[in-house]
Amino acid sequence: DAGVIQSPRHEVTEMGQEVTLRCKPISGHNSLFWYRQTMMRGLELLIYFNNNVPIDDSGMPEDRFSAKMPNASFSTLKIQPSEPRDSAVYFCASSLMGIAGELFFGEGSRLTVL
């Protein structure tokens, strides 16, 4: 079975550009999570969805970040405009049982903003 699929795996962009990260959760999973990995903060939760509805977006850094889940099989995380401090690895994870179930992580999208 395919796991969580993220794209792109690597993205290098210039400051001010729009960045869109994509995630396809495991089929049948009802929850989707976006995390950001940085040296300073480790793995921090940005937002999570349950049944395509955003439940908690308190971790989204600022208005430059937005996330959508238009259907059960696709989510996007958008940064507009991007800044060098947004450089990080962004992980998407999905779960069959929400916050009480194991999270299955994608391979991550490494973003570098110059």
List contacts with other proteins (CB under 8 A).
33, 35, 42-45, 48, 55-56, 91, 93, 99-108
Is 53:34 a contact under the CB 8 Å cutoff? no
CB of 29 to other proteins, least distance (A): 13
Return the DSSP state at 57: -
CB of 1 to other proteins, least distance (A): 15
CB of 44 to other proteins, least distance (A): 8
Distance between CA 48 and CA 95 in Å, rounded? 11
Nearer of residues 15 and 99 to other proteins, judged by Cβ: 99
CA within 13 Å, CB half, 107 = 8
Nearer of residues 74 and 105 to other proteins, judged by Cβ: 105
Nearest in space to 87 (alpha carbons), one of 39, 32, 33: 39
Return the DSSP state at 109: E
Nearer of residues 33 and 65 to other proteins, judged by Cβ: 33
**3 state SS of 98:** helix
Nearer of residues 25 and 106 to other proteins, judged by Cβ: 106
CB of 59 to other proteins, least distance (A): 8
